[in-house]
Structure 1
Amino acid sequence: MSCHSKQHAITLDDIQSAAQRIADHVARTPAIASEVISRRLGCQVAFKAENLQHVGAFKARGAVNAVMSLSDEDAHRGVVTHSSGNHAAALSRAAKLRGIPAFVVMPENSSPIKIAAVRSYGVQPVFSGPSTQQREQAADELQRQSGATLIHPFETPAVMAGQGTVALELLQQLHQLDAVLVPVGGGGLLAGILVAIKSLRPEIEVYAVEPELADDTARSLSAGSPQPPTRYDTVADGLRTGVGDHTFPIIRDLIDDLFLVSEDSILSAMRGIAEDAHLVAEPSGAVAYAGLVENAERFAGRCVAVVVSGGNLNFGDCSLGGQRRVTPKTS
């Protein structure tokens, strides 16, 4: 599978530049091997723990890269975005690092913990309806009022390049690597990882994992063009958005396969990561592991990296969307 970089929004050079630009402002997250899980699934499993990243998610990477890439003139007017939470917090943090204003639109059904994270950086979010169209309209209005630069959660190339630095670290951390499983919502993380890995180590397979209740990327690949979401109620709130116009061509050209997972599988994966790998994953962050558990036979005897994209779990909401209580075992 060749990397048609000229047709794509980002290149390996963009990702390598991003790695240098963000190095002082993001955490180099560990790739944590799990003997227990590896033995159970019959493959060597390592978790790329982006739940331990600043703001609790990989989004810190793309936001810092985008904000630090701005000219002084553009930066002075601030940045604007729309996001269900992790990108909102990441952009608020990146703006604070550079000392510029941030304007953030969040859907009204955003997780309370993610709203609180945005406010902790001194940003008061503007709330909108949950659909992509409603979010974008509210962000457009804020941009018109403020003159700020739009930093899209996954379509801005500098954001995509920043997310791709996850893969550069993985390749340095794991000397043996046969496959990587990545959650997909808008596709910024997946696109960045695809460009990095298929440019440097094309023999490594990259798999997308998506909730059955947010299957727009799977439908987009079947249709050959980006398809809108049909519902917004998966427990994996970070993946409720549609795949992007910039991210989709990269995914279409470079992906090895895509797995769909059920809500029960996602909740079970969250619990499994907590109990067996001792990592806190929010539902979106557990989706890739759910894909591995359901398709373990595909990876028998191989070395697999699973991206835990975020760990912003609201423990006050133990019902997690009313699906099932996730409670710790008592000793």
Structure 2
Amino acid sequence: MQISVHDVFQARDRIKNFVIRTPLTLSGPLSEETGAKVFLKLENHQRTGSFKPRGAVNKMESLSGEERDRGVIAASAGNHGLAVAYTARLTGTTALVVVPQNTPTTKVTGIRRLGAELVFHGNNYDESEAHAYRLSEEKGLTFIHAYEDPYTIAGHGTIGLEIMLDLPETDMIVVPAGGGGLILGIAILAKAVRPDIQIIGVQSHASPPWYYSFRAGRMMEVEYRESLAEGLHGGIGKAIFPLVLRYVDDFVLVEEEEIADAMCWMAREHHQMVEGSGAVGVAALRTGRIPNIAGKKVVCVVSGGNVDAERLARLLSAEK
């Protein structure tokens, strides 16, 4: 698989009328805590509440009329499904979305509201994806992959483009890492602009495939556990694995209590509703998981805000 800077610029032109150029905001409290100058890239402000429409719109715009007419299908932990449903509505395409049984209510409600057909299958993303591929074959639907697709990755790379246009002197970008499409897209663009920039991925101990695979230099089997960052659950892309090893500098892990604390901290300090998957970068910075950042300009990607209000309220209550 090959993705170039040119692909990211083409994606920017395809999606510019359908997505928001999200804010890059200086976090005074986080800068004070870390000794770095930390900026938050607030993708929770994006349409559908996460970064995912960037990739989904770019992919949909690449399809032929015949592929759109057949309808599309996606597997998702929630946010990709929202993005595909949103994009399908924009283009007049029918969409079927397969999600795990434990998908948060806010994401399920949003997918249905956008008009997609919803199928629950499996306990994690990988099981949902396998079922979605079967349905794709049976029904003749075009599969829209959440991360292992060059158009999806280039779409996500537009986040890196916006960061480098807004803050070209960025020293480090901290990115939540699920399947790998988000961090790879950002890394390809950012490294082209500034080769010495550091790209750091963050996962949870409950879903750590990139962390261990990166260190081993090969794809590793890991155990998955229930997590507040359910959007990061699942396997990693075999086709993009060599590219991630080439462009990403490191991965770190955070604990569940640290994710919960980061979600509450974002609500308290920045008045932002952030889901667990979107808060892992904040958690990593606040707990010192990423060393030697004092004096640097660091951008932390807040990848999504689709958290059930009841869940966030419980976390905030438990914090008192």
TM-score, normalised on structure 2? 0.95
Tell me which of 305, 308, 317 is aligned to 1:314.
Answer: 308
Cα gap change, 1:312/1:102 in structure 2, threshold over 3 Å: closer, same or farther? same
> Quick check: 1:30 aligned with 2:23?
yes
Preserved CA contact (<8 Å) 2:208 2:222: yes
User: Mean Cα displacement is larger for which, 133-142 or 255-264?
Assistant: 133-142
> Partner of 1:326: helix, strand, or coil?
helix
Distance in 1 separating the partners of 2:214 and 2:75: 25
Q: CA deviation at 1:135?
A: 1.4
- Residue in 2 aligned with 1:203? 196
Q: CA deviation at 1:224?
A: 2.0
- Residue in 1 aligned with 2:150? 157
Please give the per-residue CA displacement for 1:189-232, whole angstroms capped at 9, x wherever unaligned.
00101111112211211101110111111111133222344114
Distance in 2 separating the partners of 1:329 and 1:126: 35
Preserved CA contact (<8 Å) 2:54 2:152: yes
Tell me which of 47, 61, 71 is aligned to 1:78.
Answer: 71
* 2:165 aligned partner, one-letter code: Q
Please give the per-residue CA displacement for 1:233-271, whole angstroms capped at 9, x wherever unaligned.
121010111111133222111111111111111111111
Aligned length: 319
1:167-316 aligned at under 5 Å gives the runs 167-295=160-288, 297-316=291-310
Preserved CA contact (<8 Å) 2:147 2:179: yes
After the TM superposition, which segments of 4 or more aligned residues of structure 1 sit over 3 Å from their partners?
Answer: 327-330
What is the root-mean-square deviation in Å for CA atoms of aligned residues?
Answer: 1.8
Please give the per-residue CA displacement for 1:18-62, whole angstroms capped at 9, x wherever unaligned.
011000000000101122221222110110000000000000100
- Residue in 2 aligned with 1:326? 316
Cα gap change, 1:68/1:132 in structure 2, threshold over 3 Å: closer, same or farther? same
> Partner of 2:19: helix, strand, or coil?
coil
Q: Which runs of 5 or more residues in structure 1 are unaligned?
A: 1-7
> Partner of 2:202: helix, strand, or coil?
strand
Q: CA deviation at 1:122?
A: 1.0
User: Mean Cα displacement is larger for which, 276-285 or 14-23?
Assistant: 276-285
* 2:139 aligned partner, one-letter code: S
> Partner of 1:310: helix, strand, or coil?
coil
Distance in 2 separating the partners of 1:21 and 1:89: 19
Preserved CA contact (<8 Å) 1:186 1:247: no
Distance in 1 separating the partners of 2:247 and 2:126: 28
Distance in 1 separating the partners of 2:263 and 2:243: 28
Tell me which of 40, 45, 53 is aligned to 1:52.
Answer: 45
TM-score, normalised on structure 1? 0.92
Preserved CA contact (<8 Å) 1:229 1:241: no
- Residue in 2 aligned with 1:124? 117
- Residue in 2 aligned with 1:20? 13
Q: CA deviation at 1:124?
A: 2.5
Distance in 1 separating the partners of 2:85 and 2:14: 18
Q: Which runs of 5 or more residues in structure 2 are unaligned?
A: none
Preserved CA contact (<8 Å) 2:30 2:286: no
Distance in 2 separating the partners of 1:70 and 1:213: 35
Preserved CA contact (<8 Å) 1:187 1:244: yes
> Partner of 1:139: helix, strand, or coil?
helix
